[in-house]
Amino acid sequence: MKEESLVQLAKSLLYKKALVKVDGEFVGAIASIPRNLDNQDLNYNEIFIRDNVPVMIYLLLEGKFEIVKHFLNTCLRLQSDQFQTKGIFPTSFVEIKGKLIADYGQRAIGRVCSVDASLWWVILACIYVNKSGDRTWAATSQVQIGIQHLLNLILHPTFRDAPTLFVPDGAFMIDRALDVWGNPLEIQVLLYGALLSAVGLIQIDLEEKGHINTQSSIDLHNPDLRDPKNALIGQQIYRKSYAIAWLKRLRSYMLKNYWVNSKIVQTIRRRPTEQYGDSVANEYNIQTETIPHWLQEWLGDQGGYLIGNVRTGRPDFRFFTLGNCLGATFDLISSEQQRSLFHLMHQNQSSLFAQMPMRICHPPLQSEDWRKKTGYDRKNLPWCYHNAGHWPCLFWFFAIATLRHTHRQSSADNLMIDRLLQDNYELLVKRLPQQNWAEYFDGPNGVWVGQQARLYQTWTIVGFLLTHHLLKVNPSDSNIMDLPSLKNFASSALPNLEND
């Protein structure tokens, strides 16, 4: 099929089949387009927040701001107000007999709760405001109160001191047991993006209400702040400063504990163990034997990446594609580190891209690990589904991360990145329509359509449209996911954190 007809086909699938209306207005897209409307498939007829991230970003590029705003408002209405889950956003929702029914994990297979959905909501809200210029929406009390509830979930006392968010197994796109409990990369990177976004949105409101002067420092002498009616503003100022402090800690923590390259691996292999006290070299008491040998070739001499998880004595060195691409897109890693990451991905292209870009994580859990850690999960067999399967919906995240980078940094490596983008785009053009826009692909090179894959999966279709847009229509739109920069917040005058 010619490229232009393919784009038209994908667009009509999105607009005519995937996006659904409630009360006459589009509320979001279902996860996969059913072949037969009476035969609903598990929960794939629901509107997942995570699956709608690419959809909404594409709609923003198409100038369809109203749909995106309505989606964000609908999710906000569904933000939980129950005592134990207050502030969380649902994984998915669906209209049943005129009512929206949300799933916060209480209906999900294995009862997993998606932490990423809540983090994505605020990131998407920020991207929407940046792109549409709708500061009025950002400054509504619904949005600002929603952000406060969300921040309350993150910025509160716990039993731990680390700035990472501790979550159960399967709390993100990988929503089944795959030994991704604890501090999985994707959640930490989304946390970073979510805090940046929340601070940016609070700042807009404070500016709109005249509480921030032109140098963007908070006017603490403003008499309004002493008025009890302004309790929300007090919370906003307090949480904003706390979030900035948290962001700084999170970034240094991630760069210290998650980022590896050949040199760093060699250092950590030779660290002492069983140390106690304030300043030790091996805080998480990691034994050399936990560092896998495949890293030697995987890293080469120029590669670097963020490892999958940091836990006491049990680091997870698996490579997770989405967390790494987002780490670059949100500038959690420096531009030099971004270049090492793209080198690593280029060098390992036969694993990560292969016949269907991109592999979700590498390497798979096998044998005893698969049995024990997934609980004999047949959907997550080695090389299948989340366990190193290939997901075409991930490719646009790679495209955006690399294009953002190459626009800012001129380097001889840009040619190599461009080749990788073009070649893999061609592969998608060829294979996706042939394989009916399947959800995922199995096997070490991703040739086989996933054994349980849905066809006409929305984020596969939209991932293709986004890639086409970024590579062929307007590469400078790769700035659409630019979030407020930590550097710009650093200079704000902050109230004293001790005065809770």
Binding region for ligand GLC (CB under 6 A):
31, 48, 50-51, 173, 175
Q: Which C-beta is closer to ligand GLC: that of 342 or that of 464? A: 464
Q: How far is the CB of 441 from ligand GLC (least distance, A)?
A: 14
Q: How far is the CB of 320 from ligand GLC (least distance, A)?
A: 13
Q: Which C-beta is closer to ligand GLC: that of 48 or that of 58? A: 48
Q: Which C-beta is closer to ligand GLC: that of 31 or that of 494? A: 31
Q: Which C-beta is closer to ligand GLC: that of 164 or that of 387? A: 387
Q: How far is the CB of 59 from ligand GLC (least distance, A)?
A: 18
Q: How far is the CB of 50 from ligand GLC (least distance, A)?
A: 5
Q: Which C-beta is closer to ligand GLC: that of 452 or that of 491? A: 452
Q: Which C-beta is closer to ligand GLC: that of 175 or that of 331? A: 175
- At CB < 8 A and 24+ separation, what contacts does 12-15 make? 13/437, 13/456, 13/461, 14/55, 14/58, 14/458, 14/461, 14/462, 14/465
Q: Which C-beta is closer to ligand GLC: that of 50 or that of 211? A: 50
Residue with tokens 């004293």: 496
Q: How far is the CB of 92 from ligand GLC (least distance, A)?
A: 7
Q: How far is the CB of 267 from ligand GLC (least distance, A)?
A: 35
Helix 115-132, helix 141-154: angle, nearest 10: 140
Q: Which C-beta is closer to ligand GLC: that of 51 or that of 413? A: 51
Nearest residue to ligand GLC, using CB? Answer: 31
Q: How far is the CB of 42 from ligand GLC (least distance, A)?
A: 8
Q: How far is the CB of 289 from ligand GLC (least distance, A)?
A: 32
d(CA 416, CA 405): 13
Bridge partner residues of 103 (DSSP): 92
d(CA 245, CA 483): 17
Q: How far is the CB of 54 from ligand GLC (least distance, A)?
A: 11
Q: Which C-beta is closer to ligand GLC: that of 48 or that of 137? A: 48
